[in-house]
């Protein structure tokens, strides 16, 4: 029994199916894990802003909110998020900070997948309003 005979005997539909499934899993991980890892970094950036935003005075115009959002937008741009697909804002009464953005995943076969992320963190307050 030669090498080709042994190879032919081990190549059955189950082996081929499992191999294709493994290749598909590796490809999906290669393409989709980086955007979700980036989302975790966005959460870290939002966390830094939420603690500073908790000090904003609600009864009078503070002016720090625009500065915080500008810094957040810049930091998220450094993470690789395109500015034209990014929207950062505070909820009314500064109860939470939001970052909504899109990431486009380009595939080898010419297709593109659009991933929509809506990240939000609550801003802690000593007094409930």
5-53 pLDDT per residue, tens: 666 666 788 888 998 999 999 999 999 999 999 999 999 999 999 888 8
In a domain, 14, yes or no: yes
Residue pair 117/39 in contact by the 8 Å Cβ criterion? yes
User: Is residue 128 situated within a structural domain?
Assistant: no
Spatial contact of 46 and 99, defined as CB atoms under 8 Å apart: yes
> What are the residues whose beta carbons fall under 8 Å from the beta carbon of 120, sequence distance 6 or more?
46, 96, 97, 98, 99
The pLDDT tens digits of the residues spanning 42-99 come to 999 999 998 888 877 766 666 778 889 999 999 999 999 999 999 999 988 888 999 9
Query: What is the spatial distance between Cα 81 and Cα 88, in angstroms, rounded to a whole number?
Result: 12
pTM: 0.77
Structure tokens at 111: 């297709």
- Give the domain range for residue 101: 3-122
Q: Specify the number of domains making up the chain.
A: 1
């Amino acid at each position: 029994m030669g090498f080709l005979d042994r190879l032919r005997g081990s190549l059955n539909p189950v082996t081929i199916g499992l191999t294709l499934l493994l290749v598909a899993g590796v490809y999906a991980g290669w393409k989709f894990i980086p955007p979700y890892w980036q989302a975790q970094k966005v959460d870290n950036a939002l966390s830094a802003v939420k603690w500073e935003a908790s000090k904003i005075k609600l009864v009078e115009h503070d002016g720090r909110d625009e500065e915080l959002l500008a810094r957040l937008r810049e930091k998220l741009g450094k993470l690789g998020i395109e500015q034209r697909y990014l929207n950062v804002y505070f909820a009314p009464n500064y109860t939470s900070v939001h970052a909504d953005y899109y990431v486009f995943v380009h595939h080898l076969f010419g297709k593109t997948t659009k991933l929509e992320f809506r990240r939000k963190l609550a801003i802690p307050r000593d007094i409930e309003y």
